[in-house]
Amino acid sequence: MSFSKHMRIIAAAAAGVLIMTGCGAKEHDAAFFAMDTYMQVKTYGNEDVSADIEELVRALEDDLSVTDEQSDVYRLDHEGEFGVSDDAYELIGTSLDISRRTDGALDMTVYPVLRAWGFTSSTGYRVPAEDEISSLMEYVDYRRVDISERTVRLPEGFMIDLGATAKGYTGDRICALLAQKDITSAMIDLGGNITALGTKPDGRPWKVAVRCPYEEGYICTLDICNMSVITSGGYERYFEDEDGNEYCHIIDPASGHPVRNGILSVTVAGENGTLCDGLSTAYYVMGAEKAVQKWREYKDHEMIIITDDNYMLVTPGLEDIITVTDDRYTLKVIDDED
């Protein structure tokens, strides 16, 4: 049954993180709309590579978009087998690695179910019947994506979507481009997913702010260098039914339902933007307790989990670089061990 007519569609707030800059070196600004979001890349130095950055992002979008009929992902989804570009191949491989380390909480094959809920589809938002969800769940299992010799193959009925990792990967690719151009200071903001290259031109760390879920303003700031800071949260895109139940754009691949588990947002910070992006989505799915266990297992990144009972759970590596700016939230540093 479709409730779409009655549903209040809530506009997506731009994602998680705001930038706070302020410096004197020669700044070049690339600002454009791509991948469904407003992007801004500020680079510092003599050479202006803004056009190269925009060209790179548009090329990646052409490969990775799930809705553009010419893209590699679209063709794979509709043809079942496709010799994808190097970027799509690498990102699919890395995303599958992250699926394995998160026990399938990140799962690119959740797309048929995501579409049934009306996300990225022309049907409009709707609450699918349980039997529709359970029949689509037959097509959800990242372990069945076959990737070898630059070709990706999907079983009949399967479709993938790289929306959970594409922006992190794009941030990493922009960094690589800037390194080639000998640019050592840049702030890359892909709709609130931040990658900071080097330090600010004056040598001080970049200051970025983590957004308040559901409201204007921000909850804390972080002082960072050479780091991505990537946030996932249901508040970024969701709809409500006529009874006021909320359904967000992140789907639990175990149930086929939008996640609702007491987490408002997860921010993951680290050197590898693709990993941060994949983990932030996966941790959002897992819930706080399991996310903390996973962090303890790997400890190759930092994180901030904001819960609906007003806690900010923060890994110890952030203690010295975080400033809480919203006193409604209580900061709790996560123990290193159980």
Residue ranges that bind ligand AMP, judged by CB under 6 A: 106-108, 110, 114, 161, 163-164, 232, 249-251, 253, 277, 280-281, 285
Select the binding partner of residue 211 from ligand AMP, Mg ion, none (C-beta < 5 to 8 A, by kind): none
Which string of b and e fits 233-243 if b means at least 16 CB within 10 Å? bbbbbbbbbee
At closest approach, how far in Å is the CB of 279 from Mg ion? 8
Give the Cα separation of 302 and 266 in Å (integer): 11
Select the binding partner of residue 172 from Mg ion, ligand AMP, none (C-beta < 5 to 8 A, by kind): none
Q: Which is nearer to ligand AMP, 228 or 280 (CB)?
A: 280
Q: Which is nearer to ligand AMP, 206 or 238 (CB)?
A: 238
Give the Cα separation of 165 and 188 in Å (integer): 16
Site size toward Mg ion (CB under 5 A) is 5
Give the Cα separation of 43 and 201 in Å (integer): 9
Q: What is the DSSP string of 33-94?
A: EETTEEEEEEEESSS--HHHHHHHHHHHHHHH-SS-TTSHHHHHHHHSEE---HHHHHHHHH
Q: Which is nearer to ligand AMP, 7 or 282 (CB)?
A: 282
At closest approach, how far in Å is the CB of 154 from Mg ion? 21
Site string (276-315) toward Mg ion, x via CB under 5 A? -x--xx----------------------------------
Query: Distances from the Cα of 20 to the Cαs of 171, 189, 234, 278, 307, in angstroms?
Result: 18, 11, 24, 25, 25
At closest approach, how far in Å is the CB of 233 from Mg ion? 10
- Give contact residues for Mg ion (rule: CB under 5 A): 164, 232, 277, 280-281
